[in-house]
Amino acid sequence: MAFELPFFSSKTPPLIGLDVGSSSIKLVELADAGDGVVRLERYAVEPIPRGAVVDGNIDKIDVVADAVRRAWRRSGTRIKNVAMALPTSAVITKRIALPGNLREEEMEMQVESEANQYIPFALDEVSLDFQVLGPIPNSPEDVEVLIAASRKEKVEDRLAVVQAAGLNPIVVDVESFASRAALERLIGQLPNQGEGLVIAVFYIGANTTGVSVMLDGEAIYEREQPFGGQQLTGDISRAYGIPADEAEQKKRSGDLPANYEDEVLRPFVDSATTEITRALQFFFTSTPYTRVDQIMLAGGSSVLAGLPEALMERAQVPTSVISPFKGMELSPNIRERQLRLDAPALLTPCGLAMRRFDK
């Protein structure tokens, strides 16, 4: 196989989940508290300079590695093994059916042969891996296999960042898969484990908003649109004549003039509500589904004052901001008030950190 560091590792030592975003590094360490309870041990969020990561591409490896090192030190963890993820846009995934009686070497050959049909690059230019998902219900002799492939340089840039920070890359996942692992845990806490509910999850990041619609553990629709919290940062910068970095800092701290809420924040919340309801309409018109039972908001901008309420009123669907740590124990290291603000942005690193519990 072309890929030495597996996307889908079956045996993982204690590790931390590390998310390299366009505006920050996010790190999460989970621990087993016993009796099936998971404990949030530590986490850290470390901003990175504008332009270091652009559209999921790491343009300044040294700058990002420094931020990873700072996040690791700030968290207080001693674990150096890391699970990280590639942006969903950087990975080609495909589900295929293969005979269930193939030996591993035969399956690898079949996967490479199939991958040739779907990947628009030469195989020696890509990192390739696969995972057997299980038997196919209406074809019991076959198994469903998930193939994941990415350009080698995308993987190598992330490895270089982690290694330059003095850490050990163990697992490379895909951001959407990692987030989904954290989501499935939350949906499992709903009445009847959320069975039959159509749940739309909106992750409002710095530059993009991703929507994933879930039904019975499956993502039935996924889409990304160019709208995110950086637009609010730009609005603040223009309204008060301050540099973008200062605007970002003041946005996080809340240190803004009295007219901020009415004149800057509320128009942005209106725009976000419009973007999300438009995305829902697109879901309805491009799929057979005609309803959404619940909206979950995640990402750094989901905690903005008034957004869940405005969206619930506009969409007429129960709406909540989610924390991937709901139902977990919190270690004494965790400041709960700060966690309430940070948690919605930690879906991906939480899902990555959960890899230490993989059987």
Q: In this prediction, what percent of the chain has a pLDDT beyond 90?
A: 64
Per-residue pLDDT averaged across 27-44, rounded? 93
Q: Which of 339, 289, 253 is nearest to 28 (CA)?
A: 339
For the stretch 139-173, pLDDT in tens is 888 999 888 989 999 999 999 999 999 999 999 99
Task: Please check the confidence at residue 26 and state whether its pLDDT lies above 60.
Answer: yes
Exposed / middle / buried, residue 117 (Cβ in 10 Å: 0-12, 13-18, 19+): exposed
Pair 71, 27: CB distance under 8 Å: yes
Helix axes 230-240, 244-253, angle to 10 degrees: 110
Pair 99, 141: CB distance under 8 Å: yes
Q: Which residue ranges form the domains of the chain, and what is each CATH number?
A: 16-89+153-183+328-357 (3.30.420.40), 190-321 (3.30.420.40)
For the stretch 293-336, pLDDT in tens is 999 999 989 999 899 999 999 999 999 999 999 999 999 989 99
pLDDT of residue 359: 62
pLDDT of residue 3: 40
pLDDT of residue 6: 53
- 319 by DSSP, 3-state: which? strand
Q: Quote the tokens at residue 76.
A: 């207080």
Question: Can you give the pTM of this predicted structure?
Answer: 0.89
For the stretch 248-293, pLDDT in tens is 888 888 888 999 999 999 999 999 999 999 999 999 999 999 999 9
List C-alpha distances in Å: 204 to 79, 273, 332, 344, 347.
29, 11, 29, 9, 11
pLDDT of residue 4: 42
Which segment, 111-115, 119-123, 191-195, is predicted with the most confidence on average?
191-195
Phi, psi of 21 (to 5 degrees): -100, 180
For the stretch 166-218, pLDDT in tens is 999 999 999 989 999 999 999 999 999 999 999 999 999 888 899 999 999 88
Task: Please check the confidence at residue 236 and state whether its pLDDT lies above 50.
Answer: yes
